[in-house]
Structure 1
Amino acid sequence: MTTATPGADLSQLDRRVVCLLGLPFDVLTLDETLQEVRDAIAQRRRCWLSTPNLNFLIAARQDPEFRRTVLHSELSVADGMPIVWLARLLGLPLRERVAGSDVFEALHHGNAARPVRAYFFGGPDGAAEAASRRINALGGGLHCVGFDSPGFGSLDSMSTDAVIERINATQPDFVVVSLGAKKGQAWIERNRHRLMAPVIGPLGAVVNFEAGTVRRAPPLWRRLGLEWLWRIMQEPALWRRYAGDARALLPMLWGSVLPLWWARVRRDRHASRLDTHLEAPAAGAVTLRLRGVCVAATVPALRQACKDALALSCDLRLDLQAVEELDAEAMGLLLLVQAHQQRLGRGCAITVASPLVRRRLRQHGCADLLKSL
């Protein structure tokens, strides 16, 4: 397993990520995501694949700990057409939906001589076993090496040494976690560094699709963004969740999406200068002062300045008093910086900000960065 020296690996900052209502989304197509997963397996490199949909987005706005787990993922892709539609409205470069079930399905068509070794953790009674048997009967690019159905136990009972050792003993390439969104993310956050599998993903519905207990929507329904309707037809109880998500989205549209859309319409696209100044560390923290605009065109300069600051291995203070704009791509990079510091137990805060930046942080769903340090 490839692991980085604590504090030394800044490669996560090279991801192209946009922030949408508080969550990071990698700008990747399905094929590119699939290649990232395959590369992680081949290189034995850790890759926590999160697949936020609208339900994730709503839950993350209400639950900071859940949001933190998405920030800590190595890949975070848009699993839901509402996410893609919102991104298009805001001019964000998310080109297509990347469903976790599509990623897993594509692995079926991989190299049969070296199949991806999958392990199912969770799911309804009997589903993981049925999925395992069906996958192994089909052959191809996937082989199921084990499964565990812990039921509705606590995180503690699902995280014992015996459980982790049982998973590791099968030497999986990909652990598919099916415990529900919040519990699955929390379980991965707790156990990811104890698991030897390079790829871990909370792909809840995959176990049911693979077991054949729930049918996926036909491709046309998926392309039209109607998979939610198909899912309700298959699992009627889901309508309550979808209705609740729609209600929760309405105030976000008014308070965040529309103001960000209007800011994009009015933005001077020729203003693309960003000056950075890194002060010498003092009292265990370094201050990075920015002047100009933090937008897509200036992200390369912002990325290098952040890398220089993080290389000093201390708390990071960001001074954005002289910043005149903060768009979703720059905000996405700042989320990666925040996640890097959190993983290492270090602080990261925007300690000084202009009124416009404060407003943008609230609209982006990232006001938690505004604090003293």
Structure 2
Amino acid sequence: MDKISIMGVRIDNQSMDEVMSTVADRLSKGEKYIIYTPNTEIVMMCQNDEEFLNYMNKSSINIPDGIGLVYASKIKKHPLKGKVAGFDLSMKLLELADKKGLKLYAVGGKPGIAETAMKNVHEKYPGIKIAGYHHGYFKGAHLGQGGHEEEQKVVDEINMHEPDILFVGFGAKKQEQWIEFNKDKLNAKIIIGNGGTIDVLAGNVKRAPDIYVNLGLEWLYRLIKEPKRISRQAVLPVFMLKVIFGNKNIVKEIK
């Protein structure tokens, strides 16, 4: 079983090692590879947003970035190999870039965040060639203004440096929308929409401690730290109820 559909969102059934093996292969061949990181919340967002659903299903790979997706796959007898967290995959990409001397570019976050993130990356992974960085506060496809001159300048800058890896951190839907609009223009090999990873790398946001991660309770940690997330997290029990009581097509294998 190579891939399944969870409420219409394609989830590729690969382990972290398998994903990284594919990444290394695509890099060696110079082929473009787009990675999205759907979790339970994103799957639920897609239920009421067909445009977002279409974006999600146009990636090269969708990793299961959420223990809820793994539980759902097991409940409906189409088990995934396990959770592949977007943040963890991003760290694996940094390790690979450090080892191979690859070029990295980061776009997203508030002014100054991507710059700080890349400075921290350079200190921890001196083998990485920091190709550049840019904040996400420019007019472009992520704001419904695809093709704006401000966006074209960012794309031109990215292309000038020809990064091996491009981190795009605008948050769910915005980053996928931006990547989808610009993917054929971007001269970058591995492109990953990785949400708040740039903020974590900048030290602006703390990732959940390992005990929460290992128990699949990162959502609880974020909720404790940011109580205002309660409205977003409310979709989690709704998701599980849909899985438990929904028909077999809620989760199905994709042939």
With normalisation by structure 1, the TM-score equals 0.62
User: How many angstroms apart in 1 are the aligned matches of 2:149 and 2:57?
Assistant: 23
Is contact 1:108-1:141 (8 Å) kept?
no
Residue 239 of structure 2 aligns with an amino acid whose one-letter code is L
- From the superposition, tell whether residues 247 and 111 of structure 1 become closer, same or farther in structure 2 (CA, over 3 Å): closer
Matched, 1:67 2:57: no
Alignment of 1:173 onto 2:143: no
SS at match of 1:216: coil
Provide Cα deviations, 1:313-367, integer angstroms capped at 9, x if missing partner.
xxxxxxxxxxxxxx822xx23xxxxxxxxxxxxxxxxxxxxxxxxxxxxxxxxxx
Q: Distance in 2 between matches of 1:110 and 1:141?
A: 10
Query: Matched residue pairs, number?
Result: 250
Contact kept? 2:131, 2:163, Cα under 8 Å: yes
Q: Secondary structure at the match of 2:95?
A: coil
Contact 1:159-1:187 at 8 Å conserved across structures: no
Which gives a bigger RCO, structure 1 or 2 (Cα 8 Å, sep 6+)? 2
Question: Structure 1's 144 and 237: CA in aligned 2 closer, same or farther, altered over 3 A?
Answer: farther
Shift of 1:60: 1.1
Q: Determine helix, strand or coil for the equivalent of 1:109.
A: helix
Counterpart pick for 2:174 among 167, 178, 183: 183
Pairing of 1:87-98 with structure 2 (within 5 A): 87-98=73-84
Residue 219 and residue 140 in structure 1: after superposition, are their counterparts in 2 closer, same or farther (change >3 A)? Answer: farther
Cα shift at 1:161: 2.8
**Cα 1:113/1:27, change in 2 over 3 Å:** closer
Matches within 5 A, 1:3-82: 16-82=2-68
Contact 1:87–1:93 (8 Å) recurs in 2 = yes
Overall identity of the aligned pairs, in %: 28
Q: CA deviation at 1:260?
A: 1.7
Give the letter for the 1:162 counterpart: K
- Find 1:260's aligned residue among 235, 240, 248: 248
Aligned-residue offset at 1:248: 4.3
Provide, for residues 247-305 of structure 1, a one-character-per-residue CA deviation record: whole Å limited to 9, x for no partner: 6426623652xx329x9xxxxxxxxxxxxxxxxxxxxxxxxxxxxxxxxxxxxxxxxxx
Conserved in 1, the CA contact under 8 Å of 2:159 and 2:186? Answer: yes
1:107 paired to 2:31: no
Q: Does 1:328 align with 2:252?
A: yes
Secondary structure of 2:119's partner? helix
Q: Distance in 2 between matches of 1:100 and 1:133?
A: 21
> Is structure 2 residue 236 aligned with structure 1 residue 246?
yes
**Cα separation, partners in 2 of 1:108 and 1:122, compared to 1, 3 Å:** closer
Deviation at 1:158, TM superposition (A): 7.4
User: What residue ranges of structure 2 are gaps of 5+ in the alignment?
Assistant: none
Report the more deviating stretch, 51-60 or 87-96.
87-96
- 2:149 is equivalent to residue 162 of structure 1: no
Change (3 A) 1:216 1:136: same
Q: For residue 195 of structure 1, give the secondary structure of its aligned residue in structure 2.
A: coil
The aligned amino acid for 2:205 is V
Deviations 1:42-100 (A, max 9, x none): 21111110110011101111111111111111111100011111111112131211011
Structure 2 residue aligned with 1:225:
216
- The separation in 2 between residues aligned to 1:71 and 1:159, in whole angstroms, is 27
Question: Do the aligned partners of 2:169 and 2:193 also contact (CA within 8 Å) in 1?
Answer: yes
CA-to-partner distance for each residue in 1:156-193, whole Å, 9 max, x for gaps?
Answer: 23774322111111111111111111111111110001
- Structure 1 91/32 Cα, relative in aligned 2: closer, same or farther at 3 Å? same
Q: Which residue of the partner structure matches residue 280 of structure 1?
A: none
Please tell me whether Structure 1 or Structure 2 has the larger radius of gyration of its CA atoms.
Answer: 1
Q: Distance in 2 between matches of 1:254 and 1:100?
A: 26
Instruction: Give the distance between the partners of 2:239 and 2:86, measured in 1 at CA.
Output: 22
Q: Residues 150 and 158 of structure 1 are in contact (CA less than 8 Å); yes or no, is this contact kept in structure 2?
A: no
Cross-structure match for 1:320? none
Distance of aligned partners of 1:69 and 1:139 in 2 relative to their CA distance in 1, 3 Å threshold: same
Q: 5 Å matches for 1:187-226?
A: 187-226=178-217
Deviation at 1:19, TM superposition (A): 1.2
Kept in 1: contact 2:110–2:136 (CA 8 A): no
1:125 aligns with 2:116: no
CA distance in 1, matches of 2:227, 2:139: 25
The one-character-per-residue Cα deviations of 1:195-215 (angstroms, maximum 9, x if unpaired) are 011111110111011111111
